[in-house]
Amino acid sequence: MDINASVAKRWALLALLGVTLLSQGCQKGEEPVDPYAFNYPDYFPDPTYTFDNNPITEQGFKLGKKLFFDPILSRDGTIACSNCHVQAVAFADAAHPISIGIEERIGKRNAPGLFNLGFRETFIWDGGVTHLDFVPLNAIENPLEMDDDISLVIQKLTAHPEYPTLFRQAFGTDTINGAYFLHAMAQFQLLLISAGSEYDQMLQGEKSLTPLAKTGLSIFESRCATCHDGALFTDQSFRNNGLNASHESDPGRALITAANSDKGTFKVPSLRNVAATSPYMHDARFGTLEEVLDHYDVGMVDSETLDPVFRQPDGSLGIPLTDAEKKALIVFLETLTDRDFLRNPLFFRN
Ligand code: HEC
Ligand code: HEC
């Protein structure tokens, strides 16, 4: 698998993709949109995923979806990806603040929602995975999650009554291997595109936000968008937003870089669908958006790596917010819920 495809190749591909997207058109009343095409709004950034060695097909997507819902990927056959990533809550985990793996083993962090993954530079809270294809390995081989081994998974799939046929239909091969397996999983995850919220309808000129949501949007733009930036609502950086005074129990990004300046920093999460993905923060410490805003207002604790944005000129920490501002912010954040995504039958288990 060539994950370091040259930049030139990538641009050529993007150009091609652009042509496909244009020809599939947004003109209303024409041919129906192909549900297996990687379609996204023009205000999204360019995808980071290179599709040249893994173009999305209907068969590949459906195979990836079947695998996503299949506990065969875990050592004892009890846990599927879908146990921890549930569509109704934007593929986050509503049932368990900290995820529970096989034999009820307790993980370390909260499962994030899964959407718009084809635009991401890094994955998981500390950015320890740098390519979407490799995310399933992280779950499958993690002793606290599925505790399996990719080569055993391939053996189980090869001996299965249905999978060999499904791999042949998707990739034209009789040999199931790790690369095809990871490609199928990526195809399913790539099409988890969420861009149909009220906020998107506003951007597309189809709807206007309520006055309160508009007030919330302008507060958001001035105080939150430094980090929760752009169409993805994240600048994809790693920051410390004042959750802990000591970073021993989970050093976050420093686990990957070993840099002191990264201790206690975590990926800035997207806030799309945030009203559906409670609980919040990597350690799931907050159950509601009200609690999150109280944290930004008065709950921050200091440490060396606290983001400078949160140091006020008077020496206080955080982002001061009045009750009225909090209310408006929450009404705005609720406009980021993409109800069509949460119940899109394309993602239902077959
Ligand atoms: C036991 C629960 C559990 C299972 C099973 C599980 N995940 Fe996850 N997933 C998590 C947690 C927790 C994280 C965050 C991990 C971290 O930051 O260390 C995560 C992170 C991810 C991410 C990164 C999201 C982001 O925003 O960075 C993706 C993608 C993902 N999982 C896909 C999958 C796939 C595909 C499977 C099946 C092969 C799977 N997960 C199985 C709990 C789970
Ligand atoms: C300096 C960067 C920065 C600023 C400014 C910022 N955030 Fe965050 N935000 C983060 C980081 C980093 C996290 C994840 C922290 C963690 O889990 O360790 C986060 C997490 C969140 C979460 C939890 C999301 C989830 O899925 O768990 C919400 C909600 C949130 N921020 C809302 C806001 C709002 C509203 C504002 C403005 C009042 C704001 N943030 C300002 C960096 C920032």
239 burial class (0-12, 13-18, 19+ CB within 10 angstroms)? Answer: buried
Rounded to a whole number, what is the largest CA-CA distance in the chain?
67
200 burial class (0-12, 13-18, 19+ CB within 10 angstroms)? Answer: buried
Ligand 2 atom with least separation from CA of 274: 26
pLDDT of residue 97: 79
Q: Which ligand is nearest to the CA of 305?
A: 2
The answer to whether residue 5 scores a pLDDT higher than 60 is no
Q: How confident is the model at residue 350 (pLDDT cuts 50, 70, 90)?
A: confident
Q: Which has the minimum average pLDDT: 30-34, 153-157, 304-308?
A: 30-34
Q: Which protein residues are within 6 Å of ligand 1, measured from CB?
A: 68, 73, 79, 81, 83-85, 99-101, 107, 109, 111-112, 114, 117, 123-125, 135-136, 139-140, 145-146, 185, 189
Number of C-beta neighbours around residue 207 at 10 A: 12
Ligand 1 atom with least separation from CA of 101: 1
Q: How far apart are CA 76 and CA 59, in angstroms?
A: 27
User: pLDDT by residue (tens digit) across 11-49?
Assistant: 444 444 433 443 444 445 567 889 999 999 999 999 999
pLDDT of residue 96: 81
Please, which residues have CB within 8 angstroms of residue 141's CB and are 6 or more apart in sequence? 147, 148, 149, 150
pLDDT of residue 130: 96
Q: Do residues 199 and 336 make contact, with C-beta atoms less than 8 angstroms apart?
A: yes
Q: Mean pLDDT, to the nearest integer, of 223-231?
A: 97
Tokens 């809270």, residue located: 125
Alpha carbon nearest to ligand 2 atom 33, residue: 224
CA of 114 to the centre of ligand 1 (A): 8
Please, which residues have CB within 8 angstroms of residue 50's CB and are 6 or more apart in sequence? 3, 5, 9, 10, 13
Q: How confident is the model at residue 285 (pLDDT cuts 50, 70, 90)?
A: very high
pLDDT of residue 123: 98
pLDDT of residue 88: 97
Distances (CA, A) of 69 to 9, 52, 65: 33, 26, 6
User: pLDDT by residue (tens digit) across 259-279?
Assistant: 999 999 999 999 999 999 999
Percent of the chain with pLDDT over 90: 82
pLDDT of residue 143: 85
Tokens of 256: 């990957």
Tokens 């698998």, residue located: 1
Distances (CA, A) of 201 to 21, 134, 213, 310, 345: 19, 33, 13, 32, 20
The answer to whether residue 254 scores a pLDDT higher than 80 is yes
Percent of the chain with pLDDT over 70: 91
Please, which residues have CB within 8 angstroms of residue 15's CB and are 6 or more apart in sequence? none
pLDDT of residue 244: 98
Amino acid at 310: F
Q: Do residues 232 and 116 make contact, with C-beta atoms less than 8 angstroms apart?
A: yes
Ligand 1 atom with least separation from CA of 83: 5
Number of C-beta neighbours around residue 134 at 10 A: 16
Q: How far apart are CA 162 and CA 182, in angstroms?
A: 18
Tokens 């209310």, residue located: 327
**Nearest residue to 106 via CA among 77, 72, 142, 138:** 142
Q: Which ligand is nearest to the CA of 108?
A: 1
CA of 187 to the centre of ligand 2 (A): 29
CA of 295 to the centre of ligand 2 (A): 10
Tokens of 76: 């004892």
CA of 138 to the centre of ligand 1 (A): 8
User: pLDDT by residue (tens digit) across 91-135?
Assistant: 999 878 787 777 777 778 999 999 999 999 999 999 999 999 999
The answer to whether residue 8 scores a pLDDT higher than 80 is no
Average pLDDT of the residues of the chain: 91
